[in-house]
């Protein structure tokens, strides 16, 4: 007998999420579980930094909510969702196993993937660390130093938002605000996006879908469609492709999600035809 789940058409043609950072204290695992529970798709792309190997090597942190995310993804794959795991820099330890055609159950693991959109375009799906100049071997120490600073900001952000909740104020991201106000950060983002677009142009892709810089975005760069699905540490954003070919960024409000009653308020950021 066919289950009611199998009879229902998935909500989206494809969902793209990245930078979950399971294993870190900043991960919004409860919100992500609710999102995956209420948003189904034919294809699910995990676009890198799903597991934070950098954090786990320094200190083990793995609460039940992080296990629940893994279970939710495995369940989706078992029920027919085509799940692809793209490796990022924080989970780069997996790259050593790619030669063995690494897979977790029904989940395939790759460095990059090609997604053919309903709009007929060919999209490169890649985490994006390859386009980040700070990820060069001789500069990785700077990236690790920045990782320490970023985690301090997340800790400060948690304390700040605890006070804001007590005062009845909405969630506010300290690190996201600093990115918007810091010229160097804006230049880094702009350079990253430009490198992605240039690569796609040289290799014959119509567009790119990536993560890495924790800034959700959809825009045209000289004829190349650039889309970044953001992150699940600060922004809780996902990129989705509708069945009619429209692309959209979705934003969950993590401060409204409770462990006992995980109800997330969804806000649509923007959609393109």
Under the banding of pLDDT at 50, 70 and 90, the label for residue 106 is: confident
At how many degrees (to 10) do helices 183-203 and 174-181 cross? 80
**Across 144-163, average pLDDT:** 60
**Residue range of the domain that includes 95:** 12-272
pLDDT of residue 5: 47
Structure tokens at 1: 């007998």
Q: What is the number of alpha carbons within 13 Å of residue 25 lying toward its C-beta? A: 14
Number of domains in the chain: 1
Mean pLDDT (the chain) is 81
Q: Is residue 6 part of a domain?
A: no
Q: Residue 130 to residues 55, 249, 259: CA-CA distances in angstroms? A: 20, 23, 36
Q: Is residue 128 part of a domain?
A: yes
Structure tokens at 214: 């924790």
Residue 264 has pLDDT above 50, yes or no: no
Q: Give the pLDDT score at 97.
A: 84
- In sequence order, the 6+-apart residues with CB closer than 8 A to the CB of 256 are 263, 264, 265
221 in any annotated domain:
yes
Assigned domain for 2 exists: no
| Beta strand spans in 177-255 (E) | 207-210, 217-221, 224-228, 237-241, 247-252
Secondary structure of 28-86 as H, E, C letters: CHHHHHHHHHHCCEEEEEEECCCECHHHHHHCCCCCHHHHHHHHHHHHHHHCCCEEEEE
pLDDT at 119: 93
| pLDDT tens column, 69-78 | 999 999 999 9
The predicted pLDDT at position 147 comes to: 55
3-state secondary structure of 257: coil
Do the domain assignments include residue 87?
A: yes
Whether residue 141 has pLDDT greater than 50 = no
Query: 31 in a domain, yes or no?
Result: yes
Beta bridge partners of 268: 250
> Do the domain assignments include residue 176?
yes
Asked if residue 105 is part of any domain, the answer here is yes
263: pLDDT strictly greater than 50: no
- CATH number at 151 reads 3.60.21.10
Q: What average pLDDT does range 5-34 have in this prediction? A: 89
Checking if the pLDDT of 91 tops 60, the result is: yes
Is the pLDDT confidence value at 159 over 80? no
pLDDT of res. 47: 97
């Amino acid at each position: 007998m066919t289950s009611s789940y199998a009879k229902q058409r998935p909500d989206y043609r494809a969902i793209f999420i990245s930078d979950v950072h399971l294993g870190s204290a900043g991960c919004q695992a409860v919100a992500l579980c609710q999102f995956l529970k209420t948003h189904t798709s034919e294809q699910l792309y995990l676009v890198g930094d799903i597991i934070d190997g950098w954090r786990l090597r320094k200190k083990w942190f793995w609460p039940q909510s992080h296990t629940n995310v893994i279970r939710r993804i495995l369940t989706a794959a078992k029920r027919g969702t085509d799940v692809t795991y793209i490796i990022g820099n924080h989970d780069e330890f997996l790259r050593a196993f790619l030669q063995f055609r690494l897979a977790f159950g029904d989940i395939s693991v790759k460095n990059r993937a090609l997604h053919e959109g309903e709009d007929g375009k060919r999209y490169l799906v890649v985490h994006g660390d390859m386009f980040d100049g700070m990820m060069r071997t001789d500069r990785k120490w700077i990236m690790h130093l920045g990782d320490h600073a970023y985690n301090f900001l997340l800790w400060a952000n948690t304390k700040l938002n605890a006070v804001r909740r007590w005062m009845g104020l909405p969630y506010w991201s300290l690190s996201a605000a600093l990115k918007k106000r810091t010229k160097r950060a804006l230049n880094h983002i702009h350079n990253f996006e430009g490198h992605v677009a240039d690569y796609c142009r040289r290799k014959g892709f119509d567009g790119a879908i990536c993560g890495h810089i924790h800034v959700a975005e959809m825009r045209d760069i000289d004829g190349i469609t650039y889309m970044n699905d953001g992150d699940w540490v600060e922004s809780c954003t996902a990129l989705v492709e509708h069945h009619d070919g429209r692309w959209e960024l979705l934003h969950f409000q993590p401060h409204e999600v409770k462990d006992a009653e995980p109800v997330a308020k969804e806000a649509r950021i923007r959609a393109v035809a």
